[in-house]
Structure 1
Amino acid sequence: MKVKARSTNKTSIVRKLGIVGGLGSLAGGDLFYKLVKSRAVLEDQGRYHFLFEQHPFKDVLLPLDSGASMTSRKFYVFQVCKSFEESGFDAVMLPCFASHTFRAEIQEELGIAVLDMMAALTRHVSHVVEPQTTLGVIASDFVRHCGLFERHFEKDFKIVYPDPQAQSALMEAMYGLNGIKDGHLEGVPLEAVYQACLSLQAQGATVILPGMTELSLVCTDLQRRGVAVLDINEIYANFATLESGQPRRPPFKLGILGGVGPAATVDFMGKVVAHTPAGKDQEHIKMVVEQNPQIPDRTANLLRDETDPTMAMYATCKRLESAGANAIAIPCNTAHAFVERIQTHLRVPIVNMLTETVEWIVQKFGSGKAIGLLATSGTVQSQVYHQAARRAGLQILTPGVDYQAMVMEAIYGQRGIKAGFTQGLCKEQLLLAAEHLCELGAGVLILGCTELPLVLDHCEAFEINGHTVALVDPTTILALKCIELAEKDPSSQRAL
């Protein structure tokens, strides 16, 4: 069920708020009503767009006893919040105290704010209640067990709950057959809530805090009986019109276009992990990977005009973008011949491994060295490294025809790297091609196919038959750049 409220008046800034329904239909509907009739909304109706969204939630009728499982509730809340985010809403309202025990977990995975109902209540209490006052709390067994109110109020106030007998009657009045949650707002259920309030007053409570959103449904009746109980839906509605709804951004997420080739993808991910200075699991970088080996061969397209991989690469990048990637890495040198035509159609940047590699070489060795390139014939023919090097003032040397054939055999041959080999013939062929480039004058060799670092390591001083040469692994450079981006991202809470 979806309910919308929107004014036809036009203002310059529209605030779009989503309300998660289904966790308590009547209480959610009451919040929607109080939001629509709040002073801020009535004074500037054209500014607000509200959407109350309710889907079937199988555990909605289960009582929130102390051992209640939150798993289904968490997933339900996340899915509804995510739909609001994808629809361009500014913030989400979550009218359920039990769900606010895990609100922070949900917020970590979203790019829009889930407005904190406990923050709304805390702010209101700080304005109307003197410190050290005894506060009574009407809450479910689950919320009591979680200590939600202690975390927010115990520092400045004394917290009391109904006695066991009154608490048991309260749970039945809220969640039992013909209870308040089912719309029975008078008679026995109301009397049970009133008796719970009297239990709190007997313990010295002068103000009753709501820990159940359903309490708002009977709040007026309790107030008529002289109970100083707060209306959480009214408080939350007023809070929502004041908050900007700008959350802390979710942690940096790296998207990886994988499968080009499969082993190189795993190698790249390992390098990101290995080079991230993390002290525990949670300090590593989030990564979302689509391992898509069905992307047509890049070299075959460049050399023999076989199937164009652009569409498959673009579709993969769009899926990574939709998954929340802040940047995309492609651990395939040859694939970078297609990056320029894809990038203009994406909202997030592709980290250009070739450009980063050339810039790293200039910073490390200066612009005076000749650079040898060990790469697929597709990469060589596309001139992508040559163009990047030319802009940086470097000269690229490539192997002669016979040696280039060795490189291709080392990568694609029956005993080549793509076939799963990293020793034997493929390594011997690469070393011969590397020695050939050294003899041509190369002082630095780019391992310009992501399979090559599976055989030869990134090394600043590698000995080959009397030649000392630096081996530069672009996937290592790419990993280091992605780590740097994560460190600089506004969502980063520490230096990685």
Structure 2
Amino acid sequence: MKAKGKSIRNVSVVRKLGIVGGLGSLAGGDLFYKLVKSRAVIEDQGRYHFLFEQHPFKDVLLPLDAGASMTSRKFYVFQVCKAFEASGLDAVMLPCFASQTFRAEVEAELGIAVLDMMAALSGHVRRSVPVGATLGVIASDFVRHSGLFEEHFGKDYPVIYPDVEAQSKVMEAMYGLDGIKDGHFDGAPFEAVHQACLSLRAQGATVIVPGMTELSLICGPLQDQRLNVLDINQIYADFATTDPQPHHRPAFKLGIVGGVGPAATVDFMAKVVANTPADKDQDHIKLVVEQNPQIPDRTANLLHNEADPTMALYATCKRLESAGADAIAIPCNTAHAFVERIQAHLTVPIVNMLTETVEWIVNAYGSGKAVGLLATSGTLQSQVYHQAASRAGLEIVTPGVDYQAMVMDAIYGPRGIKAGFTEGLCREQLLLAAEHLCELGAQVLILGCTELPLVLRHCEAFDINGHQVALVDPTLILARKCIALAGQVEGSSTQWNRAPRISQRS
């Protein structure tokens, strides 16, 4: 097909890969070389972008003996991978067998995939080696004792290793002075590995499987000796450039704009935890919270044109976005008057507590109801609840002037909720305002300030001097919605397939 004399070609999706090279500079460089000369890259050079990070790991020359600690190595790998993630890469290659023992741990904390080198090796072996054949593995003492190869091959292939003396010589050949990691590929280091391979073949090994990426540096000469030795760097390069890679989906993370107000934030978090269907800690949702009480007062801005909170709310949301939040919750009703102007400039959604609350009321009690609203005067003036209710066919009933003054005093007064009180005068004032709304015909009351559920809790049938009314807690509705969103992201987890339960403390 041609247009204006030029060929139209299918444009490939660019794949950006980072290579952690500092765990073994020579082996990392060998992998990079095999990537750029692979058939897939040569045939479509515009598709693949590589970023090779050769920042050396401080303990790179320490031998990986059986008791080697992985802590500093884990932190190093994580830091390099985070830098790759920040650079907009799609995935990371980790050419280090010791690091493959904790690959999944690191990947779980990232927003990009760390390509599984053992999956690459396992796939190659299963395509080319008959099931039941014996695999001879040359690996460091640490990898050998980690059970990594038994985990991936033990069900289908017997796995054997060099004897104690040969293994000692392999470790010296790799990590010793003038060893393979130092660039000495012949002489005594080569001969030690060669003899270990011969020993494995004599024990019945059909193929020599590498458990050290540096073996790729001498793989060719070993193959010249008629040894069936696999080249892990070539296998890993082919895997990264030809095999379809599963999309890495990190665990759902909820961002919370906290401090508006501080106690309401803690209450919201408690409701997320209490209503999540979980049997253990790990079943709960990741939360990232910025407790920012310095966000200017929303009501003061709406009523008296005091400091505008928009910038502070937006900046807080952007920091949550940068922290990897998949969605943002703002447990403050009045702040939702500013959500529309903020949302357009974010890449993650703000879960709108007001629209979720109105939708929940319609589903629970039907449309056409008179709904009383207990909220700050700023929320009332902004009309955000009125607008959401109008779209759903609900009528909002608000307190008269004197009763609204009681609500404001219950929230902001010297003995109010923001001052730390949840009993006494503030409760009495709220109950008087609630009774007043019932007398105006309200059958459902929205606790439309996130401080109010600290005094009155969500209840389907609450008696106020003979008036039976439903109390609806938007904070609880928001928590349940966020839990449902997490369940959609988590997918098939049986925990998330359970209906969220409403905690009695809510």
TM-score (norm 2): 0.93
Aligned match of 1:349: 349
User: What is the match of residue 305 of structure 2?
Assistant: 305
Report the CA distance between 1:447 and its aligned residue. 0.5
Residues in 2 aligned to 1:284 and 1:317: alpha-carbon distance in whole angstroms:
22
Matching residue of 2:231: 231
Task: Say whether the 8 Å CA contact 2:21–2:56 is kept in structure 1.
Answer: no
Taking the aligned partners of 2:339 and 2:259, their CA distance within structure 1 comes to: 16
Q: Shift in Å at residue 492 of structure 1?
A: 5.2
Q: Which residue of 1 aligns with 2:37?
A: 37
| Alpha-carbon distance, 1:90 to partner | 2.2
* Offset of residue 110 of structure 1: 2.5
Distance apart, 1:46 and its partner CA: 2.2
Where structure 2 has 5 or more consecutive residues not aligned to the other structure, the ranges are 1-8, 497-506
Q: CA deviation at 1:490?
A: 5.7
Tell me what 1:376 maps to. 376
- Check whether the contact 1:91–1:245 (CA below 8 A) recurs between aligned residues: no
Q: Tell me the residue number matched to 2:178.
A: 178
* Count of residue pairs the alignment pairs up: 488
Is 2:473 aligned against 1:473? yes
Structure-to-structure mapping, 1:84-163, within 5 angstroms:
84-163=84-163
- Distance between the aligned counterparts of 2:470 and 2:296, measured in 1? 32
Quick check: 145-154 or 169-178, which moved more?
Answer: 169-178
Return the offset for 1:143: 0.6
Q: Which runs of 5+ in 1 are unaligned?
A: 1-8
Q: Say if 2:294 is the partner of 1:278.
A: no
Q: Do the aligned partners of 1:111 and 1:247 also contact (CA within 8 Å) in 2? A: no
Q: Cα–Cα, structure 1 residues 30 and 10, in superposed 2: closer, same or farther, change >3 Å? A: farther
Displacement of 1:412 = 1.0
Task: Kindly provide the amino acid, as one letter, of the partner of residue 362 in structure 1.
Answer: V
Give the SS at the match of 2:97: coil
The amino acid of 2:207's aligned partner reads V
TM score, norm. by length of structure 1: 0.95
Residue 399 of structure 2 corresponds to: 399
Alpha-carbon distance between aligned partners in 2 of 1:217 and 1:12, rounded to the nearest angstrom: 32
Q: Report the Cα offset of residue 202 of structure 1.
A: 2.6
> C-alpha separation between the residues in 1 aligned to 2:59 and 2:299?
54
| CA shift digits 1:205-250 (9 cap, x unpaired) | 1311000001111112222223221111111111111133342311
Indicate if the aligned counterparts of 1:374 and 1:434 stay in contact, CA closer than 8 A.
yes
Per-residue CA deviations over 1:46-81 (Å, capped at 9, x if unaligned) read 222111112242222221111111122112212222
Residue 167 of structure 1 and its aligned partner are, at CA, apart by 0.8
Question: Which has the larger displacement, 36-45 or 297-306?
Answer: 36-45
Structure 2 counterpart of 1:4: none
Q: Which moved more, 1:183-192 or 1:342-351?
A: 183-192
Distance 1:492 1:88, change over 3 A: farther
Deviation at 1:10, TM superposition (A): 10
Deviation at 1:86, TM superposition (A): 2.5
Q: Give, in whole Å, the separation in 2 of the partners of 1:11 and 1:446.
A: 53
Are the equivalent residues in 2 in contact too, given 1:136–1:159 (CA < 8 A)? yes
Shift of 1:491: 4.6
Equivalent residue number for residue 262 of structure 2: 262
**2:137 and 2:106 mapped to 1: Cα distance?**
25
Q: Distance in 2 between matches of 1:54 and 1:400?
A: 69
Q: Distance in 2 between matches of 1:246 and 1:162?
A: 35
Which deviations, in whole Å up to 9, do the C-alpha atoms of 1:420-477 show, x marking residues without a partner?
1111111111111111111111111110000000011100111111111111100001
Query: Who is 2:296 aligned against?
Result: 296
One-letter amino acid matched to 1:187: G
Instruction: Determine the structure 2 residue equivalent to 1:222.
Output: 222
Between the two proteins, what is the percent identity of the paired residues? 80
- Establish whether residue 72 from structure 1 lines up as the match of residue 63 from structure 2: no
Kept in 2, the 8 Å contact 1:135–1:205? The answer is yes
Partner of 2:4: none
Q: Distance in 2 between matches of 1:155 and 1:202?
A: 22
Amino acid at match of 2:321: E
For 1:459, the equivalent position in structure 2 comes to 459
Q: Residue 172 of structure 1: CA displacement?
A: 1.5
1:348-367 equivalent positions in 2, closer than 5 A: 348-367=348-367
